[in-house]
Structure 1
Amino acid sequence: MSKHFSSHYSLKTAMWNIEGLTTDKSQDPYFLETISKFHIVSFVETWSNSDPKLSLPEFNLISSSSRKKHKKARRHSGGINIFVKKSINNGVKSIHNDHSDIAWVILDHTFFNLKRDIYLAAVYVSPENSSCNVPDINSVYAHLLSDIEKYCKLGDIMVQGDFNAHTNTSPDYVLFDESKQPYVVDNYYVEDSIMPRNNLDPKRINNSGRCLLDLCKETSLTILNGRTIGDLHGKQSCITYNGCSLVDYTLVSFDLLSLVGYFEIHDLTSLSNHCPISCTLLTFFRSTNFVNQTQLDPLPGKFIWSPGAIEAYVKDISSKENKTKLALFTNNSFKSSDSAVQSLTSILYESAKKSAKLVNKMPNRKKKKSKRKPWFSDSCNDLRKTVKSYEKLVNKFPYNNTYRKSFYSCRSKYRRACKKAERSYKNKICSEISANVNKDPKTFWNLLQKLSKSCNNEDSVQFAQDEFIRNLVMWCFMPSFWRLQSVIGTISWLNKTAMRIVTNVTDMPPKDNIVCGPMDICGKTDSTNQIPFDF
């Protein structure tokens, strides 16, 4: 492994309200293709706790925050994750976050060749009428204002997030600037630049929109939406069943405007109701990539030794010409063993080439594993194609009610079909496992391994039959079980994915009280640590 430095003239940061950062979404080809274009990606509404186990290829999780889960809620709400590419990991540092809806990171000015550090924030503000809106909107903006006032003295500011704010085309700057009055004398006062802003969202300004505009006026931040190359019209960032709106924004400080080269709101996908937004900063930096430069020798050829080839080789090696070569080889005094080996190998190799057929060996190419899941049926694939076709139409005609309703209805059918296909696939395997517990151990373990591969999340493991649960645990404590070499891997899988199975079994009404202790691979029991199991 060696370090490879590549130069970049732009730094791309993105924000995406992903509406649940699940394993299925992180493995989606379009998702991976989209985030691979950016250096820093902020996800809001991840619906995960503060210690997520999810990882993205070529990215490191540098900052994470989450809300406290309500005791009656089925899942978490909110949540922010900031991922940074491994090649620029040394230039980005996280800051301790005091608020669950705000996450800050620092971009080092020495690494990115900037005049000042850039303080980048990812923000999520819940809708005003949302049941998950635990913190007050005004308190979120007040906390964000205090953070900006603190960090603006140390560097430039960039804020990206889903504010759920409708701002229309109202100015984010002071219209009647006091510095234009003749009686005001202040050499340190900076006038606000008049920059008109476009917006395709005609909705009225809501409470969050007023707070966002006031925040920009107080901190001299500028909204990039609707006034930057790439989004001069103020494209909508959220397309739902009822309509579309602009609620995702990027704000930058005035000194950072000169570095902004491009701002874009990307197309809608079936992964979320929100579109990813990205901002490109014009700067020069060098990223570090680890490249494996180990070059292997080509594979040697292979001779086909048929009976006729063997006879021809014996005759050729016994010829006068080869006998003379071998005599010269034995009488010659070589300086090193390598030269002697090379000389003898050339004699034998030339003789073999005259006698047998030489086949050049090609390197073994690894077959690409199919990313299609085993339960993904043809009907699911057809629904997916339908969703993709409506997805293109919605991106082209976002204000068409028919296309929007068709897209979301097809997406719901597609998700329900996938869940149904996955459930039936796992239930079928469970039935087969239950039938082969005491009949065919080999088939039992193959099916169990097949089931474990099909389960990505612990919460997705659902076993259909109580009889299978009972037979599985009884089988696990049979003496023959411990003689199997695969016991270690099976126990680790059971600990991760089927903890609730043992809980359900221990809660069953008692039949025969069986006392079992920890067993080793030979079937011996430790009586000092006995665990009762009731069946």
Structure 2
Amino acid sequence: MTNDMCGDLNARTGSELDFIENDTYDPFAMDDEEYEYDIGLQKRKSCDNKVDARGKQLLQLCITLKLRILNGRMLGDSNGNFTCFKPNGTSVVDYIIMSEDLIQHTLNCKVSNFIPCFSDCHCKVSCMLLASYCPVFINKNENTQNFPGKFKWTDCSKEKFQDALCHPSCKLDINAFLTNNYQDKSNINSAATDLQNIIIKAAKMSLKFKSNKYKKKTINKKKWYDQDLYNKREN
């Protein structure tokens, strides 16, 4: 899964590491086989040397989710320029953060000059990514399902739904869900389906269901309007 964040995060990270240094494979270590090792990246530079509490939290988030800060690391902002200008000082609090696997597709990172009419104290941060276009051909003959409908939620629905979850039948399903072993990644879909079934079951017991009605489109065909003309119009 790839993620990215961009904007004012109100966190000062200095030039501290946002990845685990020397995180290389050791064949003799008794580690989890599913553990993914961090890729060794160039260390960041920053004009802001301070690290605050929120910055430490952001760095820990990056390490945990394999996210990487582009500021001070990429072409265009190799020095980690200041992004925030206030009367009491300057700082780096605006970031572009991306998943580790997106770094190789990133061309540059730029901190624009401060423009007062653009922001009260922040600079614009931007980056350029390599992109590839893959045309997708839609099969119009493919069978699709209409959206089944929705449950109507009112002011008193909260209490009714909670009571439904306490029903012996739902409680039995909830206990089975909590005691089931979903540790394997292959069982994630099964866990999501089981949880979805519990929610739908409680909703059917407590909420009103409104089905969607779809009107079939009728085509007023002229005598000269044959199937060949219809196909050409659709294409």
Name the TM-score, length of structure 2 as normaliser: 0.52
Q: Deviations over 1:73-92 (max 9, x none)?
A: xxxxxxxxxxxxxxxxxxxx
Q: Residues 114-513 of structure 1: matches in 2 within 5 Å?
A: 152=1, 156-175=2-21, 177=23, 179-180=25-26, 182-195=28-41, 196-203=43-50, 205-271=51-117, 272=119, 273-285=121-133
Q: Is the 8 A contact 2:23 2:39 kept in 1?
A: no
Q: CA deviation at 1:202?
A: 1.9
- The aligned amino acid for 1:279 is C
How far did 1:177 drift? 3.3
Q: Deviations over 1:293-342 (max 9, x none)?
A: xxxxxxxxxxxxxxxxxxxxxxxxxxxxxxxxxxxxxxxxxxxxxxxxxx
Gaps of 5+ in 2: 135-235
Identity of aligned residues (%): 34
8 A Cα contact 1:172 1:223, kept in partner: yes
Task: Kindly provide the amino acid, as one letter, of the partner of residue 241 in structure 1.
Answer: P
Name the CA distance, whole Å, in 2 between partners of 1:255 and 1:194: 12
For 1:185 and 1:207, the matched residues in 2 are separated by 30
Q: 1:277 to 1:187 in 2, by over 3 A?
A: same
Indicate how the Cα distance of structure 1 residues 181 and 239 shifts in structure 2: closer, same or farther if over 3 A, else same.
farther
The answer to which structure has the higher helix fraction is 1
Kept after mapping to 2: 8 A contact 1:269/1:275: yes
Which 5+ residue runs of structure 1 have no aligned equivalent?
A: 1-151, 287-535
Shift of 1:258: 1.5
Q: Counterpart of 1:201 in 2: which secondary structure? A: coil
DSSP-derived class of the 1:257 partner: helix
Offset at residue 187 of structure 1 (A): 4.1
Distance 1:181 1:211, change over 3 A: farther
Q: What one-letter code is carried by the residue in structure 2 that aligns with 1:211?
A: Q
Distance of 2:87 and 2:27 partners within structure 1: 49
Q: Which has the higher contact order (CA 8 A, sep 6+)?
A: 2
Give the distance between the partners of 1:185 and 1:163, measured in 2 at CA: 34
Deviation at 1:191, TM superposition (A): 1.5
> Aligned equivalents of 2:22 and 2:74: distance in 1?
24
| CA distance in structure 1 between the partners assigned to 2:90 and 2:22 by the alignment | 33
Letter in 2 for 1:198: K
Q: CA deviation at 1:192?
A: 1.1
* Letter of the 2:15 counterpart: T
* Displacement after TM superposition at 1:282 (Å): 0.9
C-alpha distance in 2 between matches for 1:161 and 1:259: 20
Where has structure 1 moved over 6 Å in runs of 4 or more?
none
CA offset digits 1:146-174 (Å, max 9, x no partner): xxxxxx3xxx2111121111111110012
